[in-house]
Amino acid sequence: MGGSEFTLGQSASVNCYRRGMAPEGFSRAIFPGGRWLVCRPKDYDVRYVINPWMNTSVVPERELAASQWGNLHHHLIRLGAWLEYVEHADGQPDMVFTANAGLVRGKDVVLARFRHRERQGEERHFRAWFEANGFTVREVTRGSFEGEGDALFSGSRLFCGYGFRSDAAAHEEVAALLGVSELVAVELKDPRFYHLDTCFCPLNDSLALVYPGAFSQQGLDLLGRSIELIRVPERDALHFVCNAVVLGRNVVLPAGCPDTYGMLQMRGFSPFPVALSEFIKAGGAAKCLSLKLEQEAR
């Protein structure tokens, strides 16, 4: 993929190029894959260690990372996504993981408040982007909150994971700020699955992928009472299979997880595997690289 700032949106009869920054141009009829924020890797790297996947002596290969990101980008557009772009700030190597920028509902966004100093410098860049694009920026005051990494909507219900990066008190604030009536909050137990989006993925209003080993029995029971669960094997979970971007019935997710692809197909979903090895070196994959910008408003 070249360095084009234009996105290509396709539907059966329409081929249109639009600049990324034109939110009023988004239409679900033309872009059934929804509206997402991404960040083209410019200064992506592993320069510090804030999760068990990161190792400063096993750094991502820059060219391979750029081509893997380009391929993910291509899949999202091909499946009908409208993409918007935030510029990658120098000195913030994890900024490509836009899922952590905040949590959007309607025109409101609750901005991230990162746990680790290493990522706190991203906050002002994400804030500037949201403000420039017509969002009302809201903030938590009680503890840290890492955006969609730890908070995922399934219809009007909000699933949250706390313990490693986000605090339970902050999730309560998020729910109040966004007018969420049903909050399902569970504790994360395995440091390898430190964000909710590494081990849980709502596929629609009633079904979700889950890696059971990331939760306590009590947490898993709570999830199971709230939504039907497709349990993925540890082998696939370790390939970040739950870190999937859901665009209607199409699911873009990491390569190397045939068991989970089969389970998805049995439930009527089409898996689109993409190789993301260079991002897994930082502890992230497909979902971490995208933030949903269109969420059912209040």
**Rule CB under 6 A: which residues touch ligand ARG?**
50-51, 54, 94, 97, 99-100, 119, 149, 195, 197-198, 282-284, 288
Q: Is the CB of residue 251 less than 8 Å from the CB of residue 245?
A: yes
Say which DSSP state 267 is in. T
Shortest reach from residue 289's CB to ligand ARG, in Å:
8
Of the listed 39, 195, 239, 242, which one is catalytic? 195
Name the active-site residue from 201, 242, 257, 288: 288
How far apart CA 135 and CA 104 sit, in angstroms, is: 9
Q: How many Cβ atoms sit within 10 Å of the Cβ of residue 217?
A: 9
- Least distance CB 243 / ligand ARG (angstroms): 7
Q: Comparing C-alpha atoms, which of 243, 248, 196, 242 is closest to residue 222?
A: 196
Is 242 among the residues known to form the active site? no
Minimum CB distance to ligand ARG smaller for 198 or for 260: 198
Q: How many CA atoms lie within 13 A of 237 on its CB side?
A: 23
Active site residue 288: yes
Nearer to ligand ARG, 202 or 283 (CB): 283
CB of 15 to ligand ARG, least distance (A): 32
CB nearer ligand ARG, residue 120 or residue 204: 120
Dist CA 112 CA 150 (whole Å): 10
User: From residue 196, how far is each of 41, 50, 77, 188, 200 by CA, in Å?
Assistant: 23, 16, 25, 7, 6
Amino acid, res. 169: A
* E strand map for 194-269: 200-202, 207-210, 228-231, 245-247, 250-254
Nearer of residues 9 and 149 to ligand ARG, judged by Cβ: 149
Q: How far is the CB of 19 from ligand ARG (least distance, A)?
A: 26
Q: Which is nearer to ligand ARG, 154 or 198 (CB)?
A: 198
For residue 183, the minimal CB distance to ligand ARG (Å) is 19
User: What's the distance, Cα to Cα, between the start and end of the chain in Å?
Assistant: 38
Residues labelled catalytic: 195, 288
